[in-house]
Amino acid sequence: MKILFRFCKFTILNFQKAKITQTPLGFRHRGFLIFSVFIFLICFTSHGVKAQVQASGYGFNYFERQWITDNSFGAGYSFYAGVWPIMQQYPGPDNFQLGLPSTWLTPQQTGNEPSNFYNTIEGGLGWWGDTRFATETPKFIMGGVAFDFNQWANGAGAGSTSMRSDGHRDWNEPGGKYGVAQLSQHLLWPPDGLNMEQGANGEFLGYGYHPLPLTDTMAQTNGVDFSTGNQCWTLFLNTTNFKGPTTFFIPTFWTETVLNDPSLEGLFLDKRPSDKNLAFAIEYAESPALIGMDDTGESYARVLPLGYPKTSENRSELIREIKVYSKNAKWNAVENWFDGGAVPSTEFQVAGTEDIVFNVNSEVDGNINDGNQIDAMIAHDPFAEKVMSLDQRVAGFEWDTSVVNLVDGNFIMPEFYKLSPSNQWESTIMSDVPASTGLLTNTPTITPRPDDIPYLTPLEPDCHLQDPLSAWNSPGPSAGPFTVQLGDGSKLTYYWYRFVDQPSIIHANLPAQMRINLQERIEKIHTNWDYTDNYLADPTAGTLVGLDPGLIVNPPAGMEIGYVPIVTRQELDLTISSNSSIENNPKISIYPNPTEGVIRMESKGQSISGIQLFNLQGKLLNSQDGLNLKSHTLHINNHPAGIYFLIVTNHDGIFSYHRIVKSN
């Protein structure tokens, strides 16, 4: 029986009870978490089964928490988020977007906000549709959203942007690429997101936001009578190899797109305290799957199963130790310091800290939905529930290990489901899935990552914008270029800028005296606060994650104080023949690599059942199914020199993903 595959991708979903809008940060609805499982559509050339016309889903996994009433705790938050590979195999950016435990920091409401008011700091750990150098290990983005998604900023030099026809970012339109300033002199921020150490599985990333009075209040913004506050929302991290402040949102990022509407003045995070009651959730936006019917019309689904780290006998602890802060935690002491007072402690002060406990319900949510006739929840009750610790400081999932498998230290959720008469997807086992569904011989598609297009900035000679007066060139860097390799297979190029000469600060167009004040304050921080000091309180249990060691740098001699590193380019590292961090099946050997035209594959486990070869543009060049071989040879002599991606499948449906270099 021949099977043809079709798929369709949604951009905007409109339900009767919710408006859900696609953004690079995920599908979000005012604090709810949107869960979309992407279903590939199957059309059989026999039996007359019709193809579906749409594929989407919705739901959320929200970890309910204690609410407080004291509005003074409006100076941010911190918590510890689990870091782990949500899938055994990174499925590629197409139809995959997923966020690990995170939250939405919003301003406290005044009552004067318009109906479409939206202003947040979200982001967090995860994988996004525009990630170019993804692996199984998640990355971190800042995810600041200006009014109603007018622009968003993900890190220093990263944010919303128009895209050119050649796939590069358009620097003629700033978007959110200038919304964040680099603060630390010891940390690189890649435009693709902040890298965790490859292979992390169950460790915790400590992070949070607290405003610092780094800038001054402005009566005018860009020459317009629209005031901008001085709250610089600063990201603080706690990891094994980096602690403390990293970057901050420039206050004008929140106001510069609404200067023509004076009714919005004073409503944004540049001035307003944060809402002390934050929503914490795990977000599923899209995830590949297949759906098919058997000869009797029964519906079955096959997904790329999600996995969660084992932290106890049958539990996965995923989020822990939420704290919210008042300005007594740090702001007040820092403000006094900048006014000539004593150097404050680097640690957040207990007097300005409130510990928050969880109060979760047990229900786990998620849907599989074809956008046409089938719209059904997954019945999680038989194998999963949300739980919290006895002291209510930690939350996660508890598993029925008779249904959920433990593989390499991770609980792996079921792969197959059957639609029940009560319209629920119930887990089933592979042997109970009829062959006529096509799901036994076909798996959800895994696509190559689009790492052939580098991130460029106007300082790079091959960037489309070459302007000697741009924020990148005038006054420009003080030292560089320097390069470093990362565990995701990419290479960073970076330069050292005097702090107030970095592109985002130049773009902010701050008054001359404020630039002087800002530089002096940053030099105080660089002199007195080190990235090895303690800032956020350590977790009471669990292990901290490390950042990719390539991100930790030291300034050149003479630039230890008042200078910061700015990444100007991120690209595939062509000096690495094969990125082992994305090859997740050690029983598959690929050699030689680089190759002049012949690739040999050997399996020490299950026999090889199929292979797919893609070029960097994602075009399928060779596909072979129905193999039953322990070793196999593939000839690519007719293809030009360059980078290729090889996907090898064994008889258990497990993929091995390899980067191949053809040398000539």
Band of pLDDT at residue 641, cut at 50, 70 and 90: confident
pLDDT of residue 9: 28
- pTM, two decimals, is 0.83
Instruction: Collapse the DSSP code of 550 into the 3-class scheme (helix H, G, I; strand E, B; otherwise coil) and give the result.
Output: helix
Answer with the residue of higher pLDDT: 28 or 198.
198
- The DSSP call for residue 435 is G
pLDDT of residue 585: 57
- The DSSP call for residue 351 is G
Residues 270-296 have pLDDT tens digits of 999 999 999 999 988 788 888 889 999
Residues 276, 169 contacting (CB under 8 angstroms): no
Beta-carbon contacts of 525 under 8 Å, excluding residues fewer than 6 positions away, are: 183, 245
Residues 300-339 have pLDDT tens digits of 999 888 999 999 889 999 999 999 999 999 999 999 999 9
Q: Show the tokens assigned to 211.
A: 């405003």
Residues 6-21 have pLDDT tens digits of 223 222 222 222 333 3
pLDDT of residue 385: 96
pLDDT of residue 22: 35
From CA 146, how far away is CA 148, in angstroms rounded?
A: 6
pLDDT of residue 304: 87
Residue 418 lies in a domain: yes
Residues 375-397 have pLDDT tens digits of 788 999 999 999 999 999 999 99
Residues 473-532 have pLDDT tens digits of 999 999 999 999 999 999 999 999 999 999 999 999 999 999 999 999 999 999 999 999
CATH number, position 658: 2.60.40.1930
Average pLDDT score, the chain = 87
Q: What sign does the dihedral 636-639-645-651 (CA atoms) show?
A: negative
pLDDT of residue 420: 95
Residue 596 lies in a domain: yes
From CA 387, how far away is CA 311, in angstroms rounded?
A: 13
Q: What angle do CA 545, 550, 555 make, to 5 degrees?
A: 115
Closest to 606 measured CA to CA, from 630, 585, 580, 576: 630
Is 399's pLDDT higher than 50? yes
pLDDT of residue 68: 95
Q: Show the tokens assigned to 311.
A: 């932290």
From CA 495, how far away is CA 478, in angstroms rounded?
A: 7
Instruction: Collapse the DSSP code of 448 into the 3-class scheme (helix H, G, I; strand E, B; otherwise coil) and give the result.
Output: coil
From 383, 403, 427, the end of a domain falls on 427
Band of pLDDT at residue 361, cut at 50, 70 and 90: very high
Q: What is the mean pLDDT of residues 450-455?
A: 90
Q: Show the tokens assigned to 588.
A: 């598959």
Residues 33, 366 contacting (CB under 8 angstroms): no
pLDDT of residue 577: 37
Residue 517 lies in a domain: no
**In 403-507, at which residue ranges do the beta strands (DSSP E only) sit?**
405-407, 410-412, 416-419, 424-428, 455-456, 479-485, 490-498
Residue 502 lies in a domain: no
Residues 53-93 have pLDDT tens digits of 223 334 468 999 999 999 999 999 999 999 999 988 888 88
Token pair 């639609």: residue: 419
Closest to 383 measured CA to CA, from 292, 305, 290, 288: 305
Residues 423-447 have pLDDT tens digits of 999 999 999 999 999 999 888 878 8
Closest to 329 measured CA to CA, from 352, 304, 303, 361: 352
Q: What is the mean pLDDT of residues 259-270?
A: 97
The 3-class secondary structure across 493-515, one letter per residue, is EEEEEEHHHCHHHHHHCCCHHHH
Q: Show the tokens assigned to 109.
A: 């409401």
Closest to 426 measured CA to CA, from 300, 293, 291: 300
pLDDT of residue 445: 78
- Return the percentage of the chain with pLDDT > 70, whole number: 88
Beta-carbon contacts of 629 under 8 Å, excluding residues fewer than 6 positions away, are: 603, 607, 608
Helix axes of 331-338 and 512-528: crossing angle, nearest 10 degrees:
110
Residues 535-565 have pLDDT tens digits of 999 999 999 999 999 999 999 999 999 999 9
The DSSP string of 244-285 is EEEEEE-THHHHTT-TT-GGGTT-STTTSPBPSS--EEEEEE
From CA 459, how far away is CA 463, in angstroms rounded?
A: 7
Q: How far is CA 414 from CA 56, 281, 302, 364, 610, in A?
A: 19, 21, 9, 14, 23
Answer with the residue of higher pLDDT: 580 or 515.
515
Domain region containing 603: 583-662
pLDDT of residue 368: 79
From CA 215, how far away is CA 250, in angstroms rounded?
A: 8
From CA 373, how far away is CA 54, in angstroms rounded?
A: 10
pLDDT of residue 607: 86
Residue 599 lies in a domain: yes
pLDDT of residue 285: 79
Min mean pLDDT across 70-74, 167-171, 539-543, 617-621 is at 617-621
**Amino acid sitting at position 243:** K
Residues 449, 133 contacting (CB under 8 angstroms): yes
The total domain count for the chain is 2
Work out the number of other CB atoms within 10 angstroms of the CB of residue 312.
Answer: 9
> How, if at all, do strands 655-662 and 642-650 pair?
antiparallel
From 396, 427, 458, the end of a domain falls on 427
Q: What sign does the dihedral 131-136-141-143 (CA atoms) show?
A: positive
From 408, 427, 446, the end of a domain falls on 427
The DSSP string of 579-613 is -GGG---TTEEEESSSBSSEEEEEESSSPEEEEEE
Residues 489-501 have pLDDT tens digits of 999 999 999 999 9
Residues 550, 573 contacting (CB under 8 angstroms): no
Residues 88-135 have pLDDT tens digits of 888 888 878 899 999 999 999 999 999 999 999 999 999 998 899 999
From CA 26, how far away is CA 283, in angstroms rounded?
A: 8
C-alpha dihedral (632, 638, 644, 650), degrees to nearest 10? -20
Phi, psi of 406 (to 5 degrees): -105, 115
Phi, psi of 298 (to 5 degrees): -75, 140
pLDDT of residue 200: 94
Is 252's pLDDT higher than 60? yes
From CA 475, how far away is CA 499, in angstroms rounded?
A: 12
Band of pLDDT at residue 24, cut at 50, 70 and 90: very low
Residue 400 lies in a domain: yes
Instruction: Collapse the DSSP code of 192 into the 3-class scheme (helix H, G, I; strand E, B; otherwise coil) and give the result.
Output: coil
Burial bucket for residue 133 (CB in 10 Å: 0-12, 13-18, 19+): buried
Min mean pLDDT across 188-197, 212-221, 648-657 is at 648-657
Residues in the chain: 664
Edge-to-edge strands, sheet with 598-603 = 588-591, 598-603, 631-635
Instruction: Collapse the DSSP code of 430 into the 3-class scheme (helix H, G, I; strand E, B; otherwise coil) and give the result.
Output: helix
**Amino acid sitting at position 204:** F
pLDDT of residue 373: 77
Is 47's pLDDT higher than 50? no
Residue 574 lies in a domain: no
From CA 448, how far away is CA 646, in angstroms rounded?
A: 9
- Of the chain, the end-to-end C-alpha distance in Å amounts to 40
From CA 22, how far away is CA 10, in angstroms rounded?
A: 9
